[in-house]
Structure 1
Amino acid sequence: MKVIVAGLPKTGTKSMNAALSQLGFVVYDFLEHTVLTQDEYVDILHKGWSTEDFRRMYQDVDAVVDVPACFFWDEIHKAFPDAKIILTLRENEDIWWNSMQKQLEVNDRFISKLAGVFSPTYRRAKTILNFTGVLLFGCPFTQPFLKNAECNAELAKKGYRSHNAYVMSTAPKDQLLICKCSEGWKPLCEFLELPTPDCPFPHKNIHASLPQELEDHPIAMQIMNETLHSLIKVAVVTGVLTYCSIKYGPITTIQAMYGQTKGLLQTLMIPFSSVV
């Protein structure tokens, strides 16, 4: 681990991910955290953690950005004390909150709701995201299927202030860079002691455009494939049940389903019955 980005979501974390990747770092963002280290974070959030947990999780990773890693930046730094810390900020907390609110609204779009129901990978990822959202801002990052995003703006901004103040007062001064992505390559490359790329600094997730930007990401594709396959299965079952209901009547169809389900359960119980 070489770089820990401690900045909260919507402070330029996607731009910083792109910049660090362009500089040659292997970066874990929220998708990698919540999917590739999913089991570890479920245990961490529900049971606690040790420094060795984070060392094992990120031993082959160069940099981490976004949730839940930004919440655990200090614990990750204990595991990798030589890593440099970057605190990304917005111009002020109101601009940050307006951007955060747009992202929460995007997270509540219909396709995201479907993925939250029909993708096993995304369902578990949501558990981690929402747990961290409550810890940081007092509200989850995603909402149930029929519920829209709700978050207390003042509580969220208080969380923003508290998090930033804690990083600035706790991180080793000689290992900390406080920056805004609008400042471009210069402060980042000087801090990391790397040459400045001959291209514009990347700017990502502008106006909460993250879903479009992640369309080709392998983990996002996995989530969408799971969602599509589950929807196809639901459509097939619904079609069969509709056909049977029309041809044989709904009562006969329900009785047949009950009989099949009962028979399957009895079959599954045979090994237990024989042991008893």
Structure 2
Amino acid sequence: MLRVIGAGLPRTGTMTLKSALETLLGEPCHHMAEVFQRLDRDPAAFLAAARGEPTDWDAVFAGYAAAVDWPASAFHVELAERYPGAVVVLSRRDSFDTWWKSCNNTIFTGMDTRNDVATREWSDMIDAVWSKTFEGAPRSDRNAVEAAYHRYHERVREAIPAERLVEFETGAGWGPMCDALGLPVPQEPFPYLNTTKEWQERAAGDVPPGGIGAGGR
């Protein structure tokens, strides 16, 4: 059963958040990196959900205590309804410009080239999740994406009650999540993972599963 639902977009520190939540909860956190380990089931399930088909969320997230990043974050409303006791985390960058630059230097390259690690279902899932999140705005149209980006964040705030929502800006550290979950702050430093440089270094190599499309910083 999910205890934390991520509503944040890719490249908003989601890999860092995944690691932090796994430390806090002691259980796995779903992330795009997980999808590449589950290509036989996850893309089909999330694609069906994006098309409005009934989805067994308990089966999709069996064994996970949290879910962040795409594709799960695109379904934060559905997941919040299914798991009413879960905290919803809206991870954010400090501005659209910062987010846009990070995406164009990382995940957009993988989404547009459809690297060999992707399947047809994965590509269709990404297109459906993009359309659901950004209201069909073309990735090539910066102004349209920016407008949809801001509308997306407002939709999250409108859909999730304030007492359930944690707005988590990159670099916030342990405090916001520990407070929301009622857990002590770990002694270990807060993680800092999947920077643009790290992503590009992976992409320049063989791109292990979870590289293309994995949203971190």
- Fold-level match, TM-score > 0.5? yes
- Residue 33 of structure 1: how far off its partner (Å): 4.2
Q: Output the amino acid matched with 1:40.
A: A
Query: What are the residue-to-residue correspondences of 1:115-130 with 2, within 5 Å?
Result: 115-116=117-118, 122-130=119-127
Q: Output the amino acid matched with 2:127.
A: N
Provide the rounded CA distance (Å) in 1 between the counterparts of 2:173 and 2:183. 14
Provide the rounded CA distance (Å) in 1 between the counterparts of 2:116 and 2:32. 19
Asked if the contact 2:94–2:170 (Cα under 8 Å) also holds between the matched residues in 1, the reply is no
Provide the rounded CA distance (Å) in 2 between the counterparts of 1:60 and 1:80. 14
Percent identity, please. 26
Q: 1:37 to 1:12 in 2, by over 3 A?
A: same
Provide the rounded CA distance (Å) in 2 between the counterparts of 1:139 and 1:170. 21
What SS is found at the alignment partner of 1:88? strand
- Residue 184 of structure 1: how far off its partner (Å): 0.8
Aligned to 2:190: 201
What SS is found at the alignment partner of 1:76? helix
Structure with the larger RCO, 1 or 2 (CA within 8 Å, 6+ apart): 2
Bigger helix fraction: 1
Deviations 1:111-170 (A, max 9, x none): x63334xxxxx3322221122123323368xxxxxxxxx521112112211111111122
Q: 1:79 to 1:208 in 2, by over 3 A?
A: farther
Aligned to 1:38: 43
Q: Output the amino acid matched with 1:136.
A: T
- Residue 3 of structure 1: how far off its partner (Å): 0.2
Asked if the contact 1:139–1:152 (Cα under 8 Å) also holds between the matched residues in 2, the reply is yes
Asked if the contact 2:106–2:200 (Cα under 8 Å) also holds between the matched residues in 1, the reply is no
Deviations 1:161-216 (A, max 9, x none): 1111111122122111112131111121111111212122111221163365699x
What SS is found at the alignment partner of 2:117? helix
**Greater C-alpha Rg:** 1
Aligned to 1:261: none
Q: 1:201 to 1:73 in 2, by over 3 A?
A: same
Q: Output the amino acid matched with 1:113.
A: N
Give 2:81's match in structure 1, choosing from 66, 78, 83.
Answer: 78
- Residue 54 of structure 1: how far off its partner (Å): 2.1
Aligned to 1:49: 53
Deviations 1:224-247 (A, max 9, x none): xxxxxxxxxxxxxxxxxxxxxxxx
Q: TM-score, normalised by structure 2?
A: 0.80
Segments of 5+ residues of structure 2 without an aligned counterpart are 212-217
Q: 1:113 to 1:56 in 2, by over 3 A?
A: closer
- Residue 38 of structure 1: how far off its partner (Å): 2.7
Q: 1:31 to 1:139 in 2, by over 3 A?
A: farther
Q: TM-score, normalised by structure 1?
A: 0.65
- Residue 19 of structure 1: how far off its partner (Å): 0.9
Query: What are the residue-to-residue correspondences of 1:88-107 with 2, within 5 Å?
Result: 88-107=91-110
Q: 1:84 to 1:10 in 2, by over 3 A?
A: same
Q: 1:107 to 1:173 in 2, by over 3 A?
A: same
Provide the rounded CA distance (Å) in 1 between the counterparts of 2:111 and 2:81. 35
Asked if the contact 1:27–1:62 (Cα under 8 Å) also holds between the matched residues in 2, the reply is yes
Provide the rounded CA distance (Å) in 2 between the counterparts of 1:76 and 1:213. 31
Provide the rounded CA distance (Å) in 2 between the counterparts of 1:27 and 1:213. 21
Aligned to 1:210: 199
Provide the rounded CA distance (Å) in 2 between the counterparts of 1:16 and 1:99. 17
Aligned to 1:8: 9
Asked if the contact 2:44–2:125 (Cα under 8 Å) also holds between the matched residues in 1, the reply is no
Q: Output the amino acid matched with 2:143.
A: E
- The alignment yields a C-alpha RMSD, in angstroms, of 2.9
- Residue 218 of structure 1: how far off its partner (Å): 8.3
